[in-house]
Amino acid sequence: MGISNGSSVVYMPDTARPYPTLLEFFAERFPKIPMETWVRRIAEGKVLTEEGQPVTPDTAYMPDRRLFYFREVAEEPSVPFAEAILFQNDHLLVACKPHFLPVTPSGPYVRETLLGRLQERTGNPSLSPINRIDRETAGLVLLSTNKKTRGAYQQMFMEAGRVRKTYEAVSEFVDCSGQTEWLVENRIETGEPWFRMQSCAGKVNARTRLRLVEVMGNRARFQLFPLTGKKHQLRLHLSSLGFPIVHDRLYPHLGQKSQDDYQRPLQLLSRRIEFRDPICGAGMSFESPRHLALLPPS
């Protein structure tokens, strides 16, 4: 069993009742990870302070500080598709992510991530994602290459209207009675199981404009323009209109748990991102070269 190339980060909040030691903090912060795992990681020097110093089992809790730790890698899945770098300068890197590859470490994926691949490929350990898309989704991801200017791009994505995103999806299609454009507005919250989202009553927090582009047989191509960024928003909104995305294993119904089928990727693509660069002031527009087939291969 090896360890990840990159570290994970955990923040220690300034709490009114500090933990006696770091082990107590880890036990409460990560209840699914056995205490023995943290004891072993600390003993092997896999848990470090912000200054890069290894901690000990008796190291005191340090409020408002970060710790860096390295996860173990055991039989990590290998994703057989390549990412592409579309643009890079002193502040920004724009990549096109393939289906099935997570942006950052999650679940069994530690090394095999877009971030990990690009850090190794560019030799820049300071790379950090500015926006993220689901593991199942392909398309554009922006990463900061410079710690000093990272905040400007993060702020840009947080402010409504400064970034225009266009997604593309291929969905199952029956009939739409001639309608070609929709605006879906509702409230989305965590559902059951925890990794699915659901529409519910309450104040609107999710908005998407959708446009029907073309129809062929029982499938259709849509353009989607998210006005908010809730988890699984586009998948849920298309499904709610009766047009579930092809090969979606979560919506409208939860499919049986199974290994990834690389012949059946979720037909959702982050196609285009447009914005005015907060550093140089220039208008920027990036488009994915990937293509979603309207009909399955014969």
Alpha helices in 97-209, H assignment, sequence order: 114-122, 150-158
Residue among 246, 247, 207 at smallest CA distance from 224: 207
pLDDT band at 23 (very low <50, low <70, confident <90, very high): confident
Rank 9-13, 86-90, 177-181 by mean pLDDT and report only the highest: 86-90
Residue among 80, 95, 99, 83 at smallest CA distance from 245: 99
For 84-162, CATH gives: 3.30.2350.10
Comparing 45 with 162, the larger pLDDT belongs to: 162
Burial class (CB within 10 angstroms; exposed 0-12, middle 13-18, buried 19+) of 196: middle
pLDDT band at 59 (very low <50, low <70, confident <90, very high): confident
Q: How far apart are CA 39 and CA 72, in angstroms?
A: 13
Task: Encode pLDDT of 70-101 as tens digits.
Answer: 777 666 788 999 999 999 999 999 999 999 99
For 164-269, CATH gives: 3.30.2350.10
pLDDT exceeds 90 at position 62: no
Q: What is the mean pLDDT of the chain?
A: 90
pLDDT for residue 297: 64
pLDDT band at 189 (very low <50, low <70, confident <90, very high): very high
The torsion angles phi and psi of 11, rounded to 5 degrees, stand at -100, 135
- What number is the average pLDDT over the span 171-194? 91
Residue among 72, 116, 118, 79 at smallest CA distance from 101: 79
**Which overall architecture, per CATH, does domain 2-73 show?**
Roll (3.10)
Asked if 244 contacts 172 with a C-beta cutoff of 8 angstroms, the reply is yes
Is the whole-model pTM more than 0.85? no
**Cβ count within 10 A of residue 202:** 10
C-alpha Rg value of the chain to the nearest Å: 21
84-162 against 164-269: fold identical = yes
pLDDT for residue 9: 81
Cα 35 versus chain centre, distance: 28
pLDDT for residue 174: 83
Asked if 144 contacts 279 with a C-beta cutoff of 8 angstroms, the reply is no
pLDDT exceeds 80 at position 151: yes
pLDDT exceeds 60 at position 5: no
Asked if 230 contacts 209 with a C-beta cutoff of 8 angstroms, the reply is no
Strand pairing class (206-216; 181-190): antiparallel
pLDDT for residue 56: 87
pLDDT exceeds 70 at position 3: no
- What number is the average pLDDT over the span 228-251? 96
pLDDT band at 67 (very low <50, low <70, confident <90, very high): confident
Q: How far apart are CA 158 and CA 151, in angstroms?
A: 10
Token pair belonging to 132 = 């993220």
Q: Which residues share a beta bridge with 10?
A: 67
Q: How far apart are CA 45 and CA 74, in angstroms?
A: 19
Give domain limits for the chain: 2-73, 84-162, 164-269
Q: Which of 73-77, 178-182, 246-250 has the lowest mean pLDDT?
A: 73-77
- What number is the average pLDDT over the span 3-26? 78
pLDDT exceeds 90 at position 180: yes
User: Taken in order 103, 105, 107, 111, is the CA torsion positive or negative?
Assistant: positive
